[in-house]
């Protein structure tokens, strides 16, 4: 069994233990029975809207390489998100690049580059929200330190991508020099992937499009906060909208940790940790985490399974397609 999978499952079990430790399950059940289904349905709508916005944004990122219709984008995005929650160790992140490469002329490694652009846009948006939260809300020192670390990592990634795109020739020469230590064929394959990967960053050379993408990313995360706030109302929590953004930031950090499939454990513990900052008791917070996780996974599973017959793949396909991309580029170079 994969070591990362074992680590993820063990960590998930540990976090579940800390999430349920000391909880009266009868009290938890009582809170679940009181959930306002109307507000829960509103949060469900916002989750679906968020997924639609993500697929639209991805299309804007892909457009410099090829324009792809929204139905295809939503279909691939739905299956890709299902893969992320179902396949451990974040291997599912490769599903969207693979599937879009089968439905377009875009190479898988280039498509993977666009996923990296997505992550950077998300990081910038969440970083902006985090800074606002740190200014407006009195938070513990560990959150402030985490925010500073997140800022530093985000800036390093952005600097790296800008260097790859704006100084592509120089960057490729440096990488090529390092790769000369490897066997010729392997070196060629890696350089092929790197070239296609950099192609996926084309969108950042268009400032107007980049600003539009940043706006879309901010909208995505505002909608995510609306999901959480709707659930506050469903549970009768008297909390401000700012609290929803705080919970969101903590949850994003929590699910970034590789655990068992479906973010089981880290999702729940992050919600309990965040709600605890606002005086929500552990049984109520755990009930909230259960409902939030359930409706989020329901959307991912239902949409993913619905589109799966039109977007079939296996784990071996993900690595196999990358190999085809490498071979094609080497052949093109003669």
pLDDT at res. 326: 47
Q: What percent of the chain has pLDDT over 90?
A: 50
Alpha-carbon separation of residue 101 from 24, 38, 129, 218, 312 (angstroms): 50, 40, 33, 27, 13
pLDDT at res. 11: 87
pLDDT at res. 69: 95
pLDDT 10s digits, 269-319: 999 999 999 999 999 999 999 999 999 999 999 999 999 888 877 656 655
- Which of 321, 292, 323, 307 minimizes the C-alpha distance to 83? 307
pLDDT category of residue 208 using cuts at 50, 70 and 90: very high
- Which of 94, 111, 105, 117 minimizes the C-alpha distance to 320? 94
Distance CA 92, CA 90 (A): 5
pLDDT at res. 192: 74
Question: Where are the domains positioned within the chain?
Answer: 3-307
pLDDT at res. 176: 76
pLDDT 10s digits, 49-92: 999 999 999 999 999 999 999 999 999 999 999 988 887 667 77
pLDDT at res. 333: 45
Average pLDDT, the chain: 86
pLDDT category of residue 146 using cuts at 50, 70 and 90: confident
User: Has residue 1 got a pLDDT over 60?
Assistant: no
- Which of 45, 42, 44, 72 minimizes the C-alpha distance to 56? 72
pLDDT category of residue 206 using cuts at 50, 70 and 90: confident
pLDDT 10s digits, 321-331: 545 554 444 44
pLDDT at res. 315: 58
User: Has residue 268 got a pLDDT over 50?
Assistant: yes
pLDDT at res. 199: 78
pLDDT at res. 331: 41
pLDDT at res. 151: 84
Dihedrals phi, psi of 31, to nearest 5 degrees: -65, -40
- Which of 227, 228, 217, 225 minimizes the C-alpha distance to 56? 217
* Residue 92: other Cβ atoms inside 10 A: 20
């Amino acid at each position: 069994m994969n070591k990362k999978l074992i680590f993820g499952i063990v960590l998930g079990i540990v976090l579940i233990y800390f999430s349920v430790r000391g909880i009266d399950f009868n009290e938890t059940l009582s809170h679940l029975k009181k959930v306002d289904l109307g507000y829960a349905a509103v949060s469900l709508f916002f989750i679906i809207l968020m997924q639609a916005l993500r697929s639209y944004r991805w299309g804007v990122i892909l457009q410099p390489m090829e324009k792809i219709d929204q139905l295809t984008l939503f279909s691939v995005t739905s299956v890709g998100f299902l893969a992320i929650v179902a396949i451990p160790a974040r291997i599912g992140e490769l599903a969207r690049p693979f599937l879009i490469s089968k439905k377009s002329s875009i190479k898988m490694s280039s498509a993977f580059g666009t996923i990296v652009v997505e992550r950077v846009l998300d990081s910038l948006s969440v970083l902006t929200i985090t800074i606002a939260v740190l200014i407006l809300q009195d938070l513990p020192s560990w959150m402030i330190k985490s925010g500073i670390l997140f800022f530093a990592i985000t800036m390093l990634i952005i600097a790296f991508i800008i260097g790859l795109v704006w100084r592509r020739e120089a960057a490729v020469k440096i990488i090529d020099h390092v790769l000369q230590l490897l066997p010729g064929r392997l070196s060629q394959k890696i350089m092929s992937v790197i070239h296609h990967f950099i192609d996926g960053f084309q969108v950042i050379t268009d400032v107007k499009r980049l600003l539009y993408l940043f706006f879309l990313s901010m909208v995505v995360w505002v909608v995510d906060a609306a999901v959480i706030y709707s659930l506050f109302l469903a549970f009768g929590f008297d909390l401000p909208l700012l609290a929803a953004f705080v919970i969101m930031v903590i949850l994003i950090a929590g699910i970034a940790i590789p655990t068992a499939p479906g973010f089981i454990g880290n999702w729940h513990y992050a919600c309990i940790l965040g709600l605890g900052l606002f005086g929500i008791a552990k049984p109520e917070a755990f009930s909230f985490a259960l409902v939030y996780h359930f409706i989020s996974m329901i959307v991912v599973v239902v949409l993913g399974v619905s589109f799966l017959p039109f977007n079939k793949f296996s784990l071996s396909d993900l690595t196999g397609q990358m190999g085809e991309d490498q071979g094609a580029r080497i052949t093109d170079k003669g």
